[in-house]
Amino acid sequence: MFFLLFIFTPLSSQAAEIPYPASLSVLVEESPERDGKTFIIQGEVVGEPLIENNGVWLNILEEGNPMAVFCPADLAGTARQLTGGNHERIGTRIQVKGILRRICMEHGGDLDFHAAKCEIIAASKETSDVPKREDSILIISIIWMILVLKIRDYYNTSRLSQ
């Protein structure tokens, strides 16, 4: 239900009219030329949504390149509900239409992206962190060797003290 609520406007029809940057790094790299223009960007939300007086910050990541997305009050409520990625899970993947601001005066001169529309393209999912078999064998071998050395040292020391 929430997934459906968050789709504010269908973006696919507009995407063709607006230049879609190859990656977020292009936006940063060419920020002087692209300042103040409208783009559609995609990325995984990482970390927790952060509260700002009149909105919410989302930090998104695409191919290792980050971008700070500011969601104003009308998007803030739902943006706050998004799941950010961390070690335990891959964050919600979103597509955002908005304006790139090279020096955002509203936010202390930071380079940011002000969202106008936002769409979920993939839900967050959990990841697993379980030990591999070969790692387990290796750690057991190391512990075993440490124990052998320590026990040998202990017997040598006690024999010397006697």
Contact residues for 143 (Cβ-Cβ < 8 A; gap 6+): none
Q: Is 15 in the site for other proteins (CB under 8 A)?
A: no
Task: Pick the binder of other proteins from 3, 16, 17, 108 (CB under 8 A).
Answer: 108
CB atoms within 10 A of CB 97: 20
* 37 belongs to the binding site for other proteins (CB under 8 A): no
Q: How far apart are CA 150 and CA 156, in angstroms?
A: 10
Contact status: 139 vs other proteins (CB under 8 A): yes
**Per CB under 8 A, 151 contacts other proteins:** no
Question: In this structure, are residues 47 and 92 in contact, taking their beta carbons and an 8 Å threshold?
Answer: no
Nearer to other proteins, 121 or 138 (CB): 138
* Residue 97 near residue 115 (C-beta atoms within 8 A): yes
The token duo for 69 is 């997305």
Asked if 122 touches other proteins (CB under 8 A), the answer is: no
Q: Which of residues 42-71 bind other proteins (CB under 8 A)?
A: 46-52, 56-57, 59, 61, 64, 66, 68
Pairwise CA distance, residues 16 & 28, whole Å:
22
Q: Assess contact for 45 and 66: CB atoms under 8 A.
A: no
CA nearest to 51, candidates 72, 21, 35, 30: 72
Rounded least distance, CB 69 to other proteins, Å: 11
- Tell the smallest beta-carbon distance from residue 138 to other proteins (Å): 6
CB nearer other proteins, residue 7 or residue 143: 143
Question: Which residues of the chain form contacts with other proteins (CB under 8 A)?
Answer: 25, 28-29, 31-32, 46-52, 56-57, 59, 61, 64, 66, 68, 80, 85-87, 90, 102-103, 105, 107-112, 127-132, 135-136, 138-139, 142-143, 145-146, 149-150, 153
